[in-house]
Structure 1
């Protein structure tokens, strides 16, 4: 008789037991025709109630993974032609492809309450006219306060408001480059940087990196040979490979950039979510750096407000690009962001987000035990290299048949970068924690298989 490891079970116990049996069936540890222990024996062995085991078996029966006959007990039917987990309409499968913060009911409650307060207190004219492109003085002062929480000291006059990180990145690249210029970044970098450089007619060159980020020697060689104009960095839990670049590596890159008159665009969407992190690169080279951060990643996607810090000589060019790419300001979102920064709501959300991501990282550590992966306790995603025989495209398609979406590696690659065979798994879009755990467990089961052993999932 086969029994699961009781240490892998967690609350709710019936769902956890069902997942353990489902994994054993998918990996053929429990082949078709194998008998499952009777309800009472399974309950006694695992220290569960008979009712809990019955609920787990019933869940598997609904998925056509097991069946039962009088006199034979419960036995394995084998994977169905298109195996799929039981999905609630509320969750709609497992979305591990969208980078999104973890949220709960308190986020929605505070959002609704704040909007009601704004409607009652804000001068109606503020909502009926276009806002200043860079934000009002009060908005910029709140921005300077938030940047200080991110580790960057910036006077309010150095602060510009944006309608999100993507707009800030586009404006910065456009202001610092001309079509045909070379931009440097990690060889595996943010997908919006890849597409943004393409749209602006820029050459994106990927640099070699190690576990601490871009290698200084690679940056030095590129500066000598390709005449780049901009270095794009995400040193604090970069997307898609979550790396927390140590301070000495940041200083090495700053020294090289300064020696070669290279401008830096630093994207820091998580801000203070990660504690005890090194100072931003922009704090080390403020006169040659544009720093970007956004509040939607720290709190909720709907809060499309971000801050940009730049030296005074770049402000006119950046302001004109913000106007060209994003139009006039969004006073309602900027006002809400300013209030939340000022009254401490954003720091409350940041602290909550940090603890939620820590829990999810611990879950991933247990589920992917024995599997090679890259992550960080404060990151919104993890990077999952695939075993031999898998490409990111084929793995993504197999996962999709289990109603799981992940992000393949190809959109994150700078020109000329060989696909590493990996996927990005986001940790925040699946809001229910038990549902999140089950999705990861199904991914872990799929990782242990080989494509040739999955004819029932033939593409």
Structure 2
């Protein structure tokens, strides 16, 4: 780097971000080649008349992007571009050698990073000031809601902009939907094994949460009808497409049956379709069959980029005032800048391209799991982000998770996903997308397989 230095005059505020971007640009265009040693923090700070802290923060950004690496006593070096393409950045500081398969996260590569940078640069030059100067409308800007109609059509839901509300992801919308149709003490139904945020939300809000038995397609219609007659529920929570955690794809006929039962009993349906248009075999949303009773939720966090917390709520006309009021209480309004970014990706096809890419890459992970776990009982879907791994009789979910952690493999035990008073299922959730490197992913599955292949042993009570 002695032959190349960024210009101090070219740096903008914040200085550490500008410095990191300048060095990254030099790496990408070849001015800084693989293996090139970078100046020490102190040396570069002195050369550019910056603080050491500014340089340290810039180098940290470059390390998270996997553009540079460093070792104590050797300094910092430019990494191989091929490695950078495979792992464009580190999401967080993780314990050494941890195989974290507990986090629900889509895969990503350089495409996602480049798309984000490109869009942000474009927004810098042609962004409507109203998107960052205003705090209304609370339902979201009209152009974002109109674009949402296009994305919702790709999800299989036909609607109009007047019924679309912008949210900061599905969780924001779920809180609004629950409180719009339920009061403390009211009954909400779901699968026995359901999304952990529903379990938590029902407990926090004081709802009576009852889990229903399922088969490989989801909730059984006769069980739903029986529960409606017995408990007089106010709402039904559904995740019928690539359900989290016990992955299934509910067929259209089952969805129609559930919609008919809901209509007979005046039962509100809250449908979480967070995976959007990823699966090629996706079915018609249940909300399409009973729009007058349905609140439909989706976002981009599972099918595009996990940090793109923009989403949509679609509700019937008579619930829109209640939904709007609660979105305000839980977050005032969806962040306009994030909604603008998501809308641009819908309009230019980036969002769909990411969903298509996700389908292919998760399909590869599913194939690897099919090979490595072929001797064991599990279920999943070629487009799903998780596997639901059934354990042998001598294991329980908690102890298996603890034993796996001793092998540096983190999986999710079943307890957060169980509706109250449900019988344990003796299973764990295994994420397919949270380990970026394919060979490390395969290695983690082999460690799980080795654990399943031998008898359970007690863990020591004390660590030495």
Q: Please report the TM-score for the alignment, with normalisation by the length of structure 1.
A: 0.79
The whole-number CA distance in structure 2 between the counterparts of 1:250 and 1:193 is 20
Q: Which residue of 1 aligns with 2:110?
A: 105
Deviation at 1:276, TM superposition (A): 2.7
The whole-number CA distance in structure 2 between the counterparts of 1:289 and 1:265 is 6
Matched-pair contact (CA < 8 Å) for 2:140–2:333: no
Deviation at 1:250, TM superposition (A): 0.9
- Give the 3-state SS of the residue equivalent to 1:206 in structure 2: strand
> Where do 1:279-428 residues align within 5 Å?
279-428=284-433
TM-align CA RMSD: 1.6
Q: Deviations over 1:116-148 (max 9, x none)?
A: 111221033422332422111100011110000
- Answering whether residue 230 of structure 2 is matched by residue 225 of structure 1, we say yes
Q: Decide which of 254, 276, 290 is 2:281's aligned counterpart.
A: 276
- Give the 3-state SS of the residue equivalent to 1:376 in structure 2: coil
- Give the 3-state SS of the residue equivalent to 1:299 in structure 2: coil
- Give the 3-state SS of the residue equivalent to 1:273 in structure 2: coil
Matched-pair contact (CA < 8 Å) for 1:131–1:330: no
- Answering whether residue 248 of structure 2 is matched by residue 246 of structure 1, we say no
- Answering whether residue 163 of structure 2 is matched by residue 158 of structure 1, we say yes
The whole-number CA distance in structure 2 between the counterparts of 1:217 and 1:362 is 34
Matched-pair contact (CA < 8 Å) for 2:166–2:333: no
The whole-number CA distance in structure 2 between the counterparts of 1:125 and 1:432 is 41
Matched-pair contact (CA < 8 Å) for 1:131–1:331: no
- Which structure has the higher relative contact order (CA within 8 Å, separation 6+)? 1
TM superposition outliers: structure 1 runs of 4+ over 3 Å: 88-92, 454-459
Call closer, same or farther: CA 1:100–1:91 in 2, change over 3 Å.
farther
Q: Structure 2: state its 5+ residue gaps.
A: 1-92
Deviation at 1:329, TM superposition (A): 2.6
The whole-number CA distance in structure 1 between the counterparts of 2:398 and 2:272 is 28
Q: Which residue of 2 aligns with 1:23?
A: none
The whole-number CA distance in structure 1 between the counterparts of 2:460 and 2:130 is 62
Q: Deviations over 1:188-220 (max 9, x none)?
A: 100000000111110010001111111111101
Deviation at 1:302, TM superposition (A): 1.0
> Where do 1:167-186 residues align within 5 Å?
167-186=172-191
- Give the 3-state SS of the residue equivalent to 2:420 in structure 1: coil
The whole-number CA distance in structure 1 between the counterparts of 2:96 and 2:134 is 39
How many residues align structurally? 371
The whole-number CA distance in structure 1 between the counterparts of 2:345 and 2:262 is 35
The whole-number CA distance in structure 2 between the counterparts of 1:124 and 1:156 is 22
The whole-number CA distance in structure 2 between the counterparts of 1:365 and 1:308 is 35
Deviation at 1:368, TM superposition (A): 0.4
Q: Structure 1: state its 5+ residue gaps.
A: 1-87
Deviation at 1:339, TM superposition (A): 0.4
Matched-pair contact (CA < 8 Å) for 2:138–2:328: yes
